[in-house]
Structure 1
Amino acid sequence: MPKRTRMTIWRTPATLAVAILTAVFLAPATARAAPRESRPVYSYAHAIRESVWVDTGLDEDGDGRNDRVAADIVRPAEPARQGRKVPVIMDASPYYSCCGRGNESQLKTYDTHGHVVQMPLFYDNYFVPRGYAFVGVDLTGTNRSDGCVDVGGRSDIRSAKAVIDWLNGRARAYSSRAGGTPVKAGWTNGRTGMIGKSWDGTIANGVAATGVKGLKTIVPISAISSWYDYYFAQGAPLYDGGPDELAGYVQSDGAQAHCAAVQRRLAEGSPRSGDWTRLWTERDYVKDAAKVRASVFLVHGMQDLNVRTKHFGQWWDALARQGVERKIWLSQTGHVDPFDYRRGAWVDTLHRWFDHELLGYDNGIDREPMADIERHPDRWVTSAAWPPRGTRATVLRPAAGGQAGVGTLGLRRAAGTETFTDDPGLSETDWAAHLTASTPEKAGFLTAPLSRDLRLAGSAEVTVTATPTTASAHLSAVLVDVGPASIRDYADSAEGITTLTDRTCWGESTAGDSACFKETRAKTAAVDYTVVSRGWADLGHYASATKGVPLTPGRAYTMTLRLAATDHVVPAGHRLALIVAGTDKDLIDPPATRPTLTVDLSRTAAKVPLVGGAAAFAQATDAHATDGRAGIPAPTVLDGVRAPSAGRHIPAS
């Protein structure tokens, strides 16, 4: 369950007496109700636009002076004149000059005095008139900031944290990059919310994991929670190149000239062996979830194959264990911002979230369902908690044989083996397209057609015992919904959306910064199967994430693959399938050899988060199972609605 925010007003005895007298003599007709929504009462055209350079306390570029990070600010002028302080919405990004933000790749632009004219995205246009300041931070080594890009490490996180410290009076800032006049943030109350997609949202995660005071909420969109898991999956390489190349892609010309040592450190600390190093420990925010003070509104596409859903799954679970107040949106898209697939609802929800978390308005958003899930294109459902109550990790076991030689998937342990040969030219979609036939490059296992809907919600894992014929081997495990459906076309280059020519406006515009953005619609595809979740691993890392070892051909190894988090309903009439195979083309790199692997089915199983647990699976497949409580069948739970039951349900984390 989410941790509720309680607003407490501390009073001295004198102010308490005044409050009591006021309550006694104030007639009900004149009492004013507490505000529930911030309104656009301030001028965006006349907003104050300024830039400061905040001292990070680091000297990553080795020039003998502390690096300073640039923060461009747009804030309403009226509150300062009225002696009132405002909260801050902040997006710290490496992309403000190299690559752009949003669906239209907007960059920061400046006037001849160096003041920001265009701030990408709608945040400033919409929220500044409503009494917020917006701060766009250039990460160190990018755009107008000093220092070096270190891809999620100390410098990245410190550059954004330093700005929050400055907003709360704990750090120094200056009016120019070279020095200039010291500047204080006397206009803000220090209450800050961070937001951003991809790398930007990753920085929000990392800063929250420092426990910095003043950061009240974060809204990470398609964000990384551990940088190792961006480049590797349990030892299996996911991308060509490494963080050194990514740093070179975004860094400024000045950083290019002075940051060779940092580039070497990034390269040396991220070997393509997939071994865990100190560099990855520094960039793992999940381990520091206990330090998080901020609430978290997490957003992710369930078919994001750039920042895969393992990132949100492990972060969400870690935050849940710490009782962090949290909310989640899960779409059918790939790596797409919710502004571009559910615009009106997104702006309204984000507005209410910031009003609640930064202004303290009791607008009820903390009492609404925790999760919004896109079940079909543009069709959303909610869950009171996520994963829903009644979700249980259910062990499903593969068995050999079955129709046309294809294996089966059920609750009972089975003996036997299945053999496949790694084919790096084939992918999960090739395997799924041939699930009903036995093919040499995969081992596939299917349930019977379901008699009722079956919902998966959360993170799964698959334990595989396999004997390789060579000294190296990679594994893939994939869960598939086998049956026809219309889905967002996440495999398209736009990852589930089509950009239109018409524009809608969200906030106020100026001549240099329009609040109007191109509309989008869902791009759909008719499919015969849907990949629900996937995971990969290097079998040589079976014993340790720290260091892989050569395999002994002919020896059996057991390894558990951690699959990406999801929320998916396999409808009645469809089948749930498990695929075990080798290289997943275009998603992991192949091993040095091309092994044949023999899978011991008696020591292989999938642990799947099913709403209703084993009993729900048994009911959907006409099998026999109980939930372990004196033989009481577990109820089926779909989209947060639980069937009546006398049983007690334990909330899932």
Structure 2
Amino acid sequence: MSTYKASTSKTAAALALAGAVGATALAAAPASAVPAAPAAAARQAAGAYDYREVFVPSTGGVTLDGNVFVPRGKGPHPAIVFVSSWTLEDHEYIAQAAKFAEKGYIVLSYTARGFYNSGGGIDVAGPDDWADGSKAIDWLIAHTPVDVERIGFAGISYGSGISQMVAAHDDRVAAVVAMDTWGDLVQSLYAGETRHMSAYALLAISGRLTGRLSPATDTIINDFGANRNVPNLIKWGAVRSPATYRARLNARRVPVMISNAYGETLFPPNQVIRHFAGLTGPKRLDLSIGDHATAHLTGVLGVPSRTWDDAHRWFDHYLTGAANGIDREPAVSSETAWSRKVETYRDTASMTTGSVRYGLAGDGTLGAVRPAGWRKALPAGRDSGATAGVVLLSGGLQTFGVPNATDTAKISRSAAGVWSTPVLTAAKRLRGVPKLDLTVTASAKTGTLVSYLYDVDAKGQGRLITHEATSLLRAVPGKPQRVPVELEATAFDVPAGHRLMLVVDTKDPLYGDADVPGSTLTVQAPSTLDLPLGGR
């Protein structure tokens, strides 16, 4: 069977998608900032490259659906392989692929196995997906004038994780750009031994609707939903975590650029920051305000984008040797809420230059000391009204300047512990990971605590800064225990005249809790909150 598709139906679909992309981009940006729609760009650069719809044969008789841009100039050419996101297909990157092709790159995009016209079953970035990436390289070598020393992998979300895994297992990958990615899949979906049920439901439902789960994946998804076979779930997730294979990436010093969001509800920032910190080769981390994929959407649509511009510069330097300076710039770029100012740092540790410790008090204050002798009983399984928001939506709106806001007066004090600082006389620049050290007495063997940190104005309107859920799965009823909680990393300026508010309750719709009906979790002294300070 030919690896080139004779059918024109998908080519027509590609052109229709390109036109829609262009129209959407036009509506989303000022006229002066909008490039030609991808289809128009392709016509303008008709002499620059050839575009073809292709089949990529892989292991187990599986065929991957794809498309390829091949420059017409004399090769060999550097190449980029784009792997599709969860529930999407190979035309996802067509606007960016055209831009790279105009610069002389071969660009192959393929639909991950199990989705749409690609065969096989969804393996969730497992060994079959790594093999697919290697087969994509084999296809490039067999069918295009590719420079085998200059092949990069890239993707958003699902494609980003697969890209890292292929690079860890195939020495032919010379550079990676991973957008909205994960380092530790277990921590992404089970941090604090708490199931991230909204994220799970979104992935499970959309995967079943748009793809075909492999039998093993179907079992894992069912087990996660039912909260059973947890040790096997953890083992399965570790196999699919780039951090597990970080030593392989480090041994070859693979240049890895990661671009994620502070408000991620699918792959929260702490786990990916830890993964990034452990990389020892050339690396870059862009952190933006928003949620999963929202910071990269405009670039996919062909509109100018800071993070996509960095992706181009990354590949230009590490695949073509362009002296664009990205290798000499600070490794970390961090966007601050709500100024949108981008700060740069040599590494993630240097974002935090100091800290302040607050003690939780029985009168509901956050103070500089650690008061003793107080207790606050929280009813298990009761939602106080404090909320982490709606998966993807609440965080995504922050990309466009809409905070996840709550009227803090409506938070139930009978269902939550609420502690506030006095009105701040000077702004506090939070940079890094806020940490709670709670003392908790549970009346049952299990339970869940959800902690929220708010920026509260004079009218009592709170903007969510960060949060985290933590479950107690081995509590001794009646016995106090220390419960350390790392809230998700943030870059947030709290203005003078506002207050900081900490809320702790036992239930949030984003999470699957371990609460026992009728039980309580009592937060008591000594309990403290450490806030990371920094910024410029």
- Give TM-score scaled by structure 1 length: 0.64
1:532 aligns with 465
2:273 aligns with 313
Q: How does 1:575-586 map to 2 (within 5 A)?
A: 575-586=499-510
Deviation at 1:274, TM superposition (A): 8.2
The structure 2 residue matched to 1:455, chosen from 415, 424, 429, is 429
The C-alpha deviation readout for 1:19-46, integer Å capped at 9, x for no partner, is xxxxxxxxxxxxxxxxxxxxx9964675
Mapped to 1, the partners of 2:277 and 2:368 lie a distance apart of 27
The structure 1 residue matched to 2:240, chosen from 261, 278, 283, is 283
CA RMSD in angstroms comes to 3.5
Q: How does 1:212-361 map to 2 (within 5 A)?
A: 212-239=170-197, 247-251=207-211, 255=212, 259-260=214-215, 262-264=217-219, 267-268=222-223, 272-273=227-228, 275-277=230-232, 278-292=235-249, 293-319=253-279, 322=280, 324-332=282-290, 335-340=293-298, 343-361=304-322
Aligned partner letter, 1:479 = L
* Contact 2:454 2:502 (8 Å CA) reproduced: yes
* Contact 1:164 1:190 (8 Å CA) reproduced: no
Q: 1:609 to 1:318 in 2, by over 3 A?
A: farther
SS at structure 1 position matched to 2:197: coil
SS at structure 1 position matched to 2:336: strand
2:164 aligns with 205
The C-alpha deviation readout for 1:271-290, integer Å capped at 9, x for no partner, is 51583432122122223222
Mapped to 2, the partners of 1:449 and 1:568 lie a distance apart of 17
Mapped to 1, the partners of 2:224 and 2:306 lie a distance apart of 42
Q: How does 1:14-33 map to 2 (within 5 A)?
A: none
The structure 1 residue matched to 2:56, chosen from 21, 45, 53, is 53
Deviation at 1:362, TM superposition (A): 0.8
2:416 aligns with 442
Aligned partner letter, 1:295 = P
Between the aligned residues of both structures, percent identity stands at 21
SS at structure 2 position matched to 1:91: strand
Mapped to 1, the partners of 2:238 and 2:340 lie a distance apart of 39
Mapped to 1, the partners of 2:339 and 2:155 lie a distance apart of 23
2:481 aligns with 557
Aligned partner letter, 2:366 = T
Structure with the bigger percentage of helix: 2
Deviation at 1:136, TM superposition (A): 0.8
Q: 1:376 to 1:228 in 2, by over 3 A?
A: closer
Mapped to 2, the partners of 1:195 and 1:289 lie a distance apart of 17
The structure 2 residue matched to 1:125, chosen from 79, 98, 104, is 98
Mapped to 2, the partners of 1:410 and 1:289 lie a distance apart of 40
* Contact 2:472 2:514 (8 Å CA) reproduced: no
1:75 aligns with 70
- Give TM-score scaled by structure 2 length: 0.76
Mapped to 2, the partners of 1:231 and 1:348 lie a distance apart of 30
1:498 aligns with none
Q: How does 1:610-625 map to 2 (within 5 A)?
A: 610-611=533-534
Aligned partner letter, 1:280 = G
SS at structure 2 position matched to 1:428: coil
- My pick for the range that moved more, 217-226 or 421-430, is 421-430
Q: 1:460 to 1:408 in 2, by over 3 A?
A: closer
SS at structure 2 position matched to 1:231: helix
Q: How many residues align?
A: 469
2:17 aligns with none
Aligned partner letter, 1:576 = L
Aligned partner letter, 1:285 = P
Q: 1:119 to 1:606 in 2, by over 3 A?
A: closer
Deviation at 1:536, TM superposition (A): 0.9
SS at structure 1 position matched to 2:122: coil
Q: Unaligned stretches of 5+ in structure 2?
A: 1-41, 389-404
Q: 1:191 to 1:264 in 2, by over 3 A?
A: same
1:422 aligns with 380
Mapped to 2, the partners of 1:484 and 1:353 lie a distance apart of 44
- My pick for the range that moved more, 43-52 or 325-334, is 43-52
The C-alpha deviation readout for 1:72-125, integer Å capped at 9, x for no partner, is 3211122xxx2x211122221255xxx44xxxxxx55xxxxxxxxx66441122
2:405 pairs with 1:482: no
Mapped to 1, the partners of 2:255 and 2:486 lie a distance apart of 26
1:23 aligns with none
Q: Which has the larger radius of gyration?
A: 1
* Contact 2:420 2:500 (8 Å CA) reproduced: yes
Q: 1:200 to 1:557 in 2, by over 3 A?
A: same
SS at structure 2 position matched to 1:203: helix
Mapped to 2, the partners of 1:462 and 1:214 lie a distance apart of 44
SS at structure 2 position matched to 1:298: strand
Mapped to 2, the partners of 1:273 and 1:409 lie a distance apart of 42
* Contact 1:400 1:416 (8 Å CA) reproduced: yes
1:381 aligns with 342
